[in-house]
C-alpha cells in the first residue's frame, strides 16, 4: 500500500462541482485582479478569525513581511522569533533589513519558550513574532504581557493555525497584526500561493491595504514603496468555497490525531504530541518525537509511507544567518528536536486503511503490538 503524506486530489474530487463553478465565475466576469471574491473572502475571514479586518495577500510570507513593514520594522531593529519554524518566520525579518533574534522552544509544544523571551529583549527590540507551530497556539498570555511591559509589537505567524484557539480566542486575534498562509497543503489551502493578514486595529488597516498594492493611494500616487502582493481573484473564489468546510476538516484532523494518540502513546522510543487543555489544536501537522529517527524513516520509506521532517535545521544555524554568529549548543532544545521530530500523514480525507498501516508500521518498528 502506498501512503502519501497528503493527497489534495481527494478534497478536490469531493468539491469539484462547487469549485469548478466558482472558478468559472471568475473566468466569466474576468476581474482577475482584486475582483469581488477578494472582498467577500476578506469579510468572511475576518468573521472566521474574530478580528475586525482581514486583508487578502499573495502568500503567507507576504502577509508577514507586510505586517512587519506596516509596523515600521526597519534596518537596525530586532524582532524576536522562535528558532524552530518554517524559514519565512525569520526570512521576512531579514528581508526588511532587521535582525531576527532567535529564542529556543518549549520541548512540549514546539512553540517559542516564552520564559526565555525577556532575556533577549534589548533597546533595539521592536517586536515579538510567536509562531503557532503545527496548529497549536503559543503561550499568548505571557507574550502579550511582555508586549505591554516592554512596549513591543506582536506579529503572530499564524500560517499553520487558522481556526486554532487559545483559551477560546482565535489564533491571529491577539497580536497587533497576524499573518496566515493558504499554501495548498495548509488547513485552508488555495490552488497555488495565497495568504491573508488580520488585525483589530484601525490604525493599520489602511497601510496594510496600501502595501499590497505598491503603496498606492489613490491609484498612481505613492507616498510609500509597497509590494505587488495581491490575492488572486481565482484563489479567493476557491477559498470562499473551502472556508465553508474548514471547521469540519479541523474536526476530521482532530479525530485522526486522537487515533494516532491512542495507538501510539505508551510506546517506548516515541512521544506523541502534547496539547494544553486550553488549546484547540488544528493539527496542521501531527509530529512525533522519536528515538532512532533515521531507522524509522527508513522503515517508513521501505513501506512507501510518506513523512516529513519539519524542520531539520533550526533557523539560528541556517547558513544565511551565519553573520549573526550563533553556534551549535546555543538553543539546545530546538537543536535536539530538529534531530528527532517526524511528521506523519494527517489530512481530513486520510483513508482509515492508510492510517492503520502507518500505525502498524511504527508499532512494528518499535517492537510492540
Ligand X SMILES: *Cc1c(COP(=O)(O)O)cnc(C)c1O
The residues that touch ligand X, with contacts defined as CB under 6 A, are 59-61, 85-86, 88-89, 131, 157, 159-160, 181, 183, 193, 195
Q: Which is nearer to ligand X, 88 or 207 (CB)?
A: 88
Q: Which is nearer to ligand X, 14 or 320 (CB)?
A: 320
Q: What is the CA radius of gyration of the chain?
A: 21
Min dist. Cβ of residue 287 to ligand X (A): 13
Q: Which is nearer to ligand X, 89 or 113 (CB)?
A: 89
Cα–Cα distance, 275 to 132 (Å, whole number): 12
Q: Which is nearer to ligand X, 130 or 365 (CB)?
A: 130
Non-local CB neighbours of 243 within 8 Å, separated by 6+ positions: 41, 44, 45, 48, 188
Min dist. Cβ of residue 183 to ligand X (A): 4
Min dist. Cβ of residue 26 to ligand X (A): 20
List, in sequence order, every residue forming a beta bridge with 166; answer none if it has no partner. Answer: 169, 279
> Residue 212 is placed in which grid cell?
499590497
Min dist. Cβ of residue 74 to ligand X (A): 21
> Residue 21 is placed in which grid cell?
463553478
Q: How open is the CA angle 178-180-184, to the nearest 5 degrees? A: 175
Min dist. Cβ of residue 233 to ligand X (A): 17
Q: Which is nearer to ligand X, 85 or 361 (CB)?
A: 85
Chain residue whose CB lies nearest ligand X: 60
36-49 vs 233-243: helix crossing angle, rounded to 10: 40
> What are the backbone dihedrals phi and psi of residue 283, each rounded to the nearest 5 degrees, phi first?
45, 55
| SS3 category, 341 | strand
Amino acid at each position: 500500500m502506498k501512503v502519501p503524506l497528503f493527497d489534495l486530489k481527494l478534497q478536490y474530487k469531493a468539491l469539484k462541482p462547487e469549485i469548478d463553478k466558482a472558478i468559472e465565475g471568475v473566468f466569466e466576469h474576468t476581474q482577475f485582479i482584486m475582483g469581488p471574491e477578494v472582498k467577500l473572502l476578506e469579510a468572511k475571514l475576518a468573521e472566521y478569525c474574530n478580528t475586525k479586518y482581514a486583508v487578502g495577500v499573495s502568500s503567507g510570507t507576504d502577509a508577514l513581511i507586510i505586517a512587519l513593514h506596516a509596523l515600521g520594522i526597519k534596518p537596525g531593529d530586532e524582532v524576536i522569533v522562535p528558532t524552530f519554524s518554517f524559514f519565512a518566520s525569520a526570512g521576512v525579518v531579514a528581508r526588511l533589513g532587521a535582525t531576527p533574534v532567535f529564542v529556543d522552544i518549549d520541548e512540549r509544544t514546539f512553540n517559542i519558550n516564552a520564559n526565555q523571551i525577556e532575556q533577549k529583549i534589548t533597546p533595539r527590540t521592536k517586536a515579538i513574532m510567536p509562531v503557532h507551530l503545527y496548529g497549536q497556539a503559543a503561550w499568548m498570555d505571557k507574550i502579550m504581557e511582555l508586549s505591554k511591559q516592554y512596549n513591543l509589537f506582536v506579529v503572530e505567524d499564524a500560517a499553520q493555525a487558522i481556526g486554532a484557539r487559545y483559551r477560546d480566542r482565535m489564533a491571529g486575534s491577539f497580536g497587533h497584526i497576524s499573518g496566515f498562509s493558504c499554501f495548498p497543503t495548509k488547513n485552508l489551502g488555495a490552488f497555488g500561493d495565497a495568504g491573508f493578514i488580520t488585525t483589530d486595529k484601525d490604525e493599520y488597516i489602511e497601510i496594510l491595504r496600501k502595501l499590497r498594492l505598491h503603496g498606492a493611494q489613490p491609484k498612481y500616487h505613492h507616498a510609500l514603496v509597497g509590494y505587488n502582493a495581491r490575492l488572486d481573484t481565482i484563489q479567493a473564489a476557491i477559498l470562499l468555497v473551502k472556508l465553508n468546510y474548514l471547521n469540519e476538516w479541523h474536526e476530521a484532523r482532530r479525530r485522526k490525531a486522537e487515533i494516532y494518540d491512542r495507538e501510539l502513546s505508551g510506546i517506548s522510543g516515541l512521544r506523541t504530541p502534547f496539547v494544553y487543555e486550553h488549546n484547540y489544536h488544528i493539527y496542521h501537522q501531527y509530529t512525533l518525537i522519536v528515538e532512532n529517527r533515521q531507522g524509522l524513516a527508513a522503515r517508513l520509506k521501505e513501506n512507501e509511507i510518506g513523512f516529513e521532517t519539519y524542520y531539520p535545521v533550526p533557523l539560528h544555524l541556517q547558513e544565511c544567518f551565519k553573520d549573526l554568529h550563533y553556534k551549535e549548543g546555543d538553543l539546545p532544545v530546538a537543536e535536539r528536536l530538529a534531530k528527532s521530530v517526524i511528521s506523519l500523514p494527517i489530512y481530513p480525507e486520510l483513508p482509515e486503511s492508510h492510517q492503520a498501516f502507518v500505525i502498524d508500521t511504527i508499532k512494528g518498528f518499535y517492537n510492540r503490538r
